[in-house]
Structure 1
Amino acid sequence: MAKNKAPAQPKVQAFADHHVITPPNTLKHAIRRVIDRELDDPVARAEQALANLSGEFKTWMRSECDRLSAAHTVTLKKGFDTQTRGELFRAAHDIKGDASTFGFPAAGAAAESLCRILEHAPDLDAVPPDLIQHHIDAIQAIVREHNTIEKAGVANELSARLRAVADDYLTVVNRDRPDHLEMISAPSIAPKE
């Protein structure tokens, strides 16, 4: 049978100009002390799990690049409509989100630049096809050639130049849309190396 104890009352300390109220610690019984060897470090476990998966990152990024390329091929055949634009945007956006985690931050920056074009261009059919193609080619090259430190510098430069060209284009085509100009001039949110 459970004991019916009256709930513990808060401890009140009165001072000349204030009161300090200390509530009772009703969770004392829920705490269990552990010794150091029993400590669980969830961050260390997560880092270890990520390290175990790291061999798959390049394969996953290649798969994302293939998805981006396939979405672009469909837009070349069908043109831009809600579905084709959405699929191309989602493929680029997924690369933007995954790239830094998978060790390809420059690919994430190039994918972010492509997302900005797809999001802010007033007429996607008027976007120079080479501008989109160069972004896709850059993302694929960065993922394919990212195995040396020297190439990482080239990848960062390539991503930065693509972003500059995309921003210049978006600034010109959005000159009559001040709300988009403000978003275009915002700094990149893609993580850097």
Structure 2
Amino acid sequence: MAKAKTSAVHVEAFADHHVITPPNPLRGVLRAVDDKDRDDPIARAERALAGLSGEFDAWMASECERLRAAHAAILKDGFSKATRDELFRAAHDIKGDATTFGYPTASVAAESLCRIIEHAPQLDQVPAELIANHIKAILAIVREHAQIDKAGVEHELSRRLRAVADEYLAAVNHDRPEHLEAILSPGIAPAE
């Protein structure tokens, strides 16, 4: 397909500056659309998301199983690069997916777990209960979401986990200022 010939660059000279306007090759391919024919990509995306929403619980259950399996591998074989990376990826995926799937507080707890994995100087020195409690909290939030959401339990659980994790990380990173800055910054997961 032959390219349409583009017009030349247009230069307007002023006393103290020049305005250079490059050619716009898209001008020839655009067309006007009636208001009744306009596409609303946000509305289209929301409809697609609503169509998939029936799958969200199954997807979260699958993500939780992956997290549980990663933790079981660590309990069995200890921390290695592979087991650490799998635990991090599982928690990170939950952090990213949970809010979209309707579990925003699971996202907060997963973010806290990711922070532990990222910022603990020696992951094998992290109290096993701290990691286990994060995993148990994520699993409980997903499993009992409909019941505990009403009582606000999951928000308080996520908030306390984050506080304990931050306290631990601040203590073990007292001599690592580059990590302290990241630890003391607010989380990116919506805490509501």
Please state which band the TM-score falls in when normalised by the shorter chain. Answer: 0.7 to 0.9
Cα distance in 2 between the residues matched to 1:26 and 1:119:
47
Moved more, 171-180 or 129-138: 171-180
Tell me the residue number matched to 1:187.
186
| Separation (CA, whole Å) in 2 of partners of 1:108 and 1:6 | 50
Identity, % of aligned positions: 66
One-letter amino acid matched to 1:155: E
Q: Does structure 1 residue 167 correspond to structure 2 residue 166?
A: yes
Please tell me the residue identity of whatever aligns with 1:184: I
Offset, 1:107: 0.3
RMSD: 2.6
Q: Matched residue of 1:58: which SS?
A: helix
Is the Cα contact below 8 Å between 1:11 and 1:24 reproduced in 2? no
Q: Aligned runs of 1:97-108 on 2, under 5 Å?
A: 97-108=96-107
Conserved? CA contact 2:95–2:106, under 8 Å: yes
Indicate how the Cα distance of structure 1 residues 33 and 75 shifts in structure 2: closer, same or farther if over 3 A, else same: same
Map 1:1-193 onto structure 2 (within 5 A). Answer: 7=7, 10=10, 28-148=27-147, 149-151=149-151, 153-193=152-192
- CA–CA separation in structure 2 for the residues paired with 1:47 and 1:86: 33
Moved over 6 A (4+): 14-26
Aligned length: 189
Change (3 A) 1:78 1:20: closer
Question: 1:66: Cα distance to partner?
Answer: 0.5
The residue type equivalent to 1:113 in the other structure is S
Q: CA deviation at 1:87?
A: 0.4
Scaled by the length of structure 1, the TM-score of the pair is 0.85
TM value normalised by structure 2? 0.86
> 2 CA distance for matches of 1:18 and 1:183?
45
- Kindly state the Cα deviation for residue 174 of structure 1 after the two structures are TM-superposed: 1.4
Structure 2 unpaired stretches of 5+:
none
CA deviation profile, 1:3-44 (whole Å, cap 9, x unmatched) = xx99478485x8887777777776554332222232111111
